[in-house]
Amino acid sequence: MLKSVLGVVGGSGIYDLPGLENAQWIAVESPWGQPSDSVRIGYIGELKVVFLPRHGRGHVYAPSDINYRANIDVLKRCGVTDLVSVSACGSLKEELAPGTFVLVDQFIDRTFAREKSFFGQGCVAHVSMAYPVSPELVDRVEDAAKAEDLSYSRGGTYLAMEGPQFSSLAESQLYRSWGCDVIGMTNMPEAKLAREAEICYSSVAMITDYDSWHPDHGEVDIQAILKVVHDNASNAQSLVARIARDFPVERNACPIGSDKALEFAIMTVPEARDAELLSRLDAVAGRVLKS
């Protein structure tokens, strides 16, 4: 069985977990550029836990400025096998009120200004995104939410918008007509890159507002959002701490093959592959390139 390494990407409030031992910030270099920040690595029992501030400490990167490739590459270099993504989102459904945690299982990607793949000219690969989250990992997140008595909903579609501006009323209504549940700015291309890196992925969307569609709430109110974000932070910390405490030190293979996503994905024949690109793929695709 494979040894588990739990990765967590999100805001600053979740990094100082109770029971986290030998924790230290470590700068990890990536051939894909500068990651958002150093990683904070520690242990809960025998489980290695790796935290990465998605926006950097102090929230210095806007969603479009985050180097998602470097972030996922760094987590892979740290040995992360399972990644829990925690992010603030708007609700597109009446029943999903602010304060609810949504364990999303599908995405619609409407971003357009971001690098979305580790692969390209010189080494082409196509991974499946039909099932972008790992169900066993979501089971563990759900178990933790139940144990901490948090308000949550399992399942739903996350609409990833470019930002940094919030939606217009027309956009918000359009996304509701598509059947989307939440809207955010950071889970794409994060989920796609995690898939390419063969890391099991799950997303916890922390609802802060009703976007701009709700007739009783109108436009997004930043002050109201910040209050809910503050209230959500302690719940997010409790959730992540419980996930880590209960996480198995050894793990089974992912039932949907997230940990083997590159098995037959690389299309470029070996003799036509670009050596420089291959050197940058040493962590992300090392398992398949070596074989």
Which run of H or of E encompasses 77?
A: helix 68-77
Residue 246 DSSP label: H
Catalytic residue among 209, 216, 231, 246: 209
Q: Is 259 labeled as catalytic in the residue annotation?
A: no
Residue 152, annotated as binding a ligand: no
Residue 54, annotated as binding a ligand: yes
Residue 210, annotated as binding a ligand: yes
**What's the CA gap between 147 and 89, in Å, rounded?**
23
Q: Is 139 labeled as catalytic in the residue annotation?
A: no
SS3 of the chain: helix, strand, coil, percent, to 5: 30, 25, 45
Residue 185, annotated as binding a ligand: yes
Residue 65, annotated as binding a ligand: no
Instruction: Please list, residue by residue across 63-80, b when 16 or more beta carbons sit within 10 angstroms of its beta carbon and e when fewer do.
Output: beebbbbbbbbbbbbbeb
Q: Which of 263, 244, 226 is nearest to 14 (CA)?
A: 244
Which run of H or of E encompasses 196?
A: helix 190-196
Residue 188, annotated as binding a ligand: no
Residue 12, annotated as binding a ligand: yes
Residue 217, annotated as binding a ligand: no
Catalytic residue among 211, 216, 221, 231: 211
**What's the CA gap between 109 and 88, in Å, rounded?**
17
Residue 88, annotated as binding a ligand: yes
**Residue 119 tokens, joined:** 């692969």
Q: Which of 168, 279, 157 is nearest to 213 (CA)?
A: 168
Q: Which of 174, 147, 158, 161 is nearest to 241 (CA)?
A: 147
Among all residues, which ones are annotated catalytic?
209, 211
Cite the annotated binding site for phosphate by residue number: 12, 54-55, 87-88, 186
Cite the annotated binding site for substrate by residue number: 185, 209-211
Cite the annotated binding site by residue number: 12, 54-55, 87-88, 185-186, 209-211
